[in-house]
Structure 1
Amino acid sequence: MSDATTIEVRTGEELNRELLQTFIQQQIPQAPKGELQIRQFSAGHSNLTYLLQIADWEAVLRRPPLGPVAPKAHDMEREYTILSSLHPYFQPAPKPYLFSDDESIVGSPFFIMERRKGIVLDTKFPNEVTYTPELGRKISQLMVEQLVHLHQVDYKKTKLADMVKPEGFMQRQLSGWIGRYERAKTDEVRGVAELTDYLTKNVPNSAAPTIIHYDYKLNNAMFSHDFSEMTGLFDWEMTTVGDPLADVGAAMSYWIQPNDPDLLKKGLGAPPVTVLDGFFTRDEFIQMYADKSGRDVGSIDYYLTFAYFKLAVICQQIYYRYRKGQTTDQRFAKFNVFVENLIQYALITAKK
């Protein structure tokens, strides 16, 4: 990741540099001798991700957030296993070096993976990039093509075949995310009962299962400096085998377009670059996915509705941690408003 994406480690999220340096030089043969430097990647609202540097050698460390975490969430060993088995078949997946459950080193289980370099896009382009609508379409197409490519990987050739049960995926997802919402609930939110009732009564028949990233969004992707390829795809903790349209729906819940209401566009701050002229609309993205994958996308509105609910639950879990004092990060102080907005927007989508 480009240096512009890293910051000094946030107060309270520091790692024990001496312990970690000793561990790295004992466990990673390609790491040179020398002083370990640690910076933190600024993006993301969940797992903590750090840049490790010793001389010219670089790697990335991922660990769960501080404080109690939701059951089965932030499973570092699972994410490490997914990357280990998927990396040979899907180039954007970084190669992991090792996993450790020794909590004495950084305070939790963690894994270390290779560092990929390139451009990560979020709310603006780097100063050195001259944006044109043609570039927006090029990036949009890359996002579609790589999602199709991921869904073409035969999961039975990977360790995911032993880790998942694809049958009944959407029913399990629905009950699981409703349960997560109830456990993280802090306030009564208008429309939740109506939304969960709609989702429960309208579960579509799933397509043949595929590997799904399930957090596929622009700021989890990295591009070469000429935007000719995707050089990295990150945050694989939600990856599983299931309905590929659930992956498309999740991707589209993050894909903001210029005519979206402000409650959706600005819920997490400045809108993403996908609002710029040239980027695909959600309909264009979905249509190209259908054309390139050959899948029927007729029920996509259900999956998009579910994705907005799922995103609301993720934000509610983060807000719960903030309300309980498990994090003091002020970025999360207004997440309750965003949760309510997402629930309302999901209801609008359901009624299309």
Structure 2
Amino acid sequence: MDTIQVRASERIDEVKLHSFLKSQFPELPEGKLEISQFSAGHSNLTYCLKVGEFEVVLRRPPHGPVAKKAHDMKREFTIISALHPFLAAIPKPYVYVEDRDIIGSDFFLMERKKGIVLDTHFPPGTENTEELGRLISEKMVDSLVALHAIPYKETQLKDMVKPEGFMERQVQGWIERYDKAKTAEHAEVAALTTWLKDHIPSNHEATIIHYDYKLNNAMFSSDYSEIIGLFDLEMTTVGDPLADLGVAMSYWMHADDPKMLLYAFGEPPITTLPGFYTRQEFIHRYAEKSGRDVSAIDYYITFAYFKLAVICQQIYYRYVNGQTKDDRFAQMDKMVAALIHQASKVL
């Protein structure tokens, strides 16, 4: 996973942080603390801290005001702590730090994993073949099934969640979030939100769900034979597993998807290449491996597009109101419109 020089507006205090690391890790070698930043993601900020051969990952909330209940570092750390013993791909947690005097916010530290994170291109030296595309697709499905198979009642999550009425709360909650972050009127929203409220499936099964499951949140071994890392668990909870599958499908792009979606953040993801599963193939394998009835999946995919539109709208709202100066967000309103239109196709 590549890192970049820390963005000027997202720098953290090296001196205080280095001192804190010395207090936490007796094995920390002598030397200068090097801080770099993981460039992927548009939400929580993730940094690599390196002293000699020692490396650790730091997660903190974005700068400026944030949506209520969003970017909860303590919650994400608790989730990682609960899931790591059941799924080795989840990074090992180290410490949650509430003291805001160190870097200006709370944060947590976790294991640095090393492998291949895929997004828009294969790394140099990897031959793009249809067989490899199928293998990666299979591993993505199987990892999601494995996550959903974790017995959440044997973890700390049982005391943090309320699975009953999950989809009802989700639909109502994301509609409310959209209304609070709205910066323009979209003609399709009224009909879309009414349809979502009127057609909530009656599935009452509850499992651990990642809820942001996508290719660039996974890390592969060098031969692509296994997923060795699974990241960005800030939205992880216990709820309807098909909602998680729907979210995964909203990210799993086809070559014939609308260009605005394909090119929203640069080049299209590699899932558009020959050999990668279609959404239908992904869903079919998931149904086979999990034994779940997926006949209502169109509803969950529609909701996932709307949910993603709301997330983009919240980011754009922060940009418009000067709460973030990241120029990557300047065109986010166009992404919002494209996602709302995509969601509305089912109506």
TM-score over 0.5 (shorter chain): yes
**Contact 1:318-1:332 within 8 A present in 2 as well:** yes
Match of 1:294 in 2: 291
The answer for the alignment partner of 1:71 in structure 2 is: 68
Aligned to 1:327: 324
* Equivalent in 251, 265, 273 of residue 268 of structure 1: 265
In structure 2, the partner of 1:280 is 277
Q: How far apart are 1:29 and its partner, in Å? A: 3.4
In 1: Cα distance, 2:63 partner to 2:25 partner? 26
2:111 corresponds to: 114
Cα RMSD of the aligned pairs, angstroms, is 0.9
> Residues of 2 paired with 1:13 and 1:266: CA distance?
26
- Tell me, in whole angstroms, the C-alpha distance in 2 between the residues paired with 1:186 and 1:31: 48
1:91 counterpart = 2:73 = no
Q: Distance in 1 between matches of 2:44 and 2:97?
A: 16
**Conservation of the 8 A alpha-carbon contact between 1:8 and 1:39:** yes
The letter of the residue matching 2:311 is I
SS class of match (2:66): coil
Question: 1:283 & 1:207 partners in 2: Cα distance?
Answer: 23
Q: Gapped runs of 5+ residues in structure 2?
A: none
1:29 to 2:12 alignment: no
Q: Per the alignment, in what secondary structure is the counterpart of residue 56 of structure 2?
A: strand
| 2:7 match | 10
Deviations 1:180-220 (A, max 9, x none): 11111111112111110000000001241000000000000
What are the Cα deviations for residues 59-104 of structure 1, in whole angstroms up to 9, with x where unaligned?
1000001100000000000000000111000111001100011111
**1:204 aligns to 2:192 (yes or no):** no
Q: Given that residues 164 and 204 in structure 2 are in contact (C-alpha distance below 8 angstroms), is that contact kept between their aligned partners in structure 1? A: no
Amino acid at match of 1:201: D
Once residues 264 and 47 of structure 2 are traced to their aligned partners in structure 1, the CA distance between those partners, rounded to angstroms, is 26
**Aligned pair partner of 1:229 in 204, 226, 229:** 226
1:171 matched to which residue of 2?
168
Report the equivalent of 1:318: 315
1:304 aligns with 2:304: no
Task: Give the one of 217, 222, 229 matched to 1:220.
Answer: 217
Structure 1 partner of 2:144 = 147
1:33 CA displacement: 3.5
Q: Is residue 28–residue 97 contact of structure 1 (8 Å, CA) maintained in 2?
A: no
Preserved contact between residue 99 and residue 111 of structure 1 (Cα < 8 Å): yes
CA distance in 2 between counterparts of 1:125 and 1:51 reads 22
**Counterpart position of 1:137:** 134
SS at match of 2:59: strand
Query: Residues 95-150 of structure 1: CA distance to partner in whole angstroms, max 9, x if unpaired?
Result: 11000111111111100000000010111111121111100000000000000000
**CA deviation after TM superposition for structure 1 residue 273, in Å:** 0.6
Q: Find the aligned partners of 1:201 and 1:110 in 2 and give their Cα distance.
A: 40
Structure 1 residue matching 2:102: 3-state secondary structure? helix
1:180 and 2:173 aligned: no
Distance in 1 between the 2:106 and 2:174 partners? 24
| Preserved CA contact (<8 Å) 1:207 1:244 | no
* CA positional deviation for 1:262: 1.2
The alpha-carbon deviation at position 288 of structure 1 amounts to 0.3
DSSP-derived class of the 2:118 partner: coil
Matched AA of 2:263: K
CA gap 1:57/1:203 in 2 versus in 1, 3 angstroms: same
Cα drift, residue 12 of structure 1: 1.3
Aligned partner letter, 1:156: K
Task: Give the CA deviation at 1:34.
Answer: 2.8
> TM-score by structure 2 length?
0.98
The TM-score normalised by the length of structure 1 is 0.97
Contact 1:215 1:251 in 2 (8 A): yes
**Amino acid in the other structure paired with 2:119:** D
Alignment of 1:100 with 2:97, yes or no, is yes
Letter in 2 for 1:87: H
Q: Distance in 1 between matches of 2:302 and 2:322?
A: 31
Residues in 1 aligned to 2:27 and 2:238: alpha-carbon distance in whole angstroms: 33
Partner of 2:36: 39
Partners of 1:223 and 1:10 lie apart in 2 by 27
Which runs of structure 1 show a deviation greater than 4 angstroms over 4 or more consecutive aligned residues?
none
Distance 1:122 1:223 in 2: 12
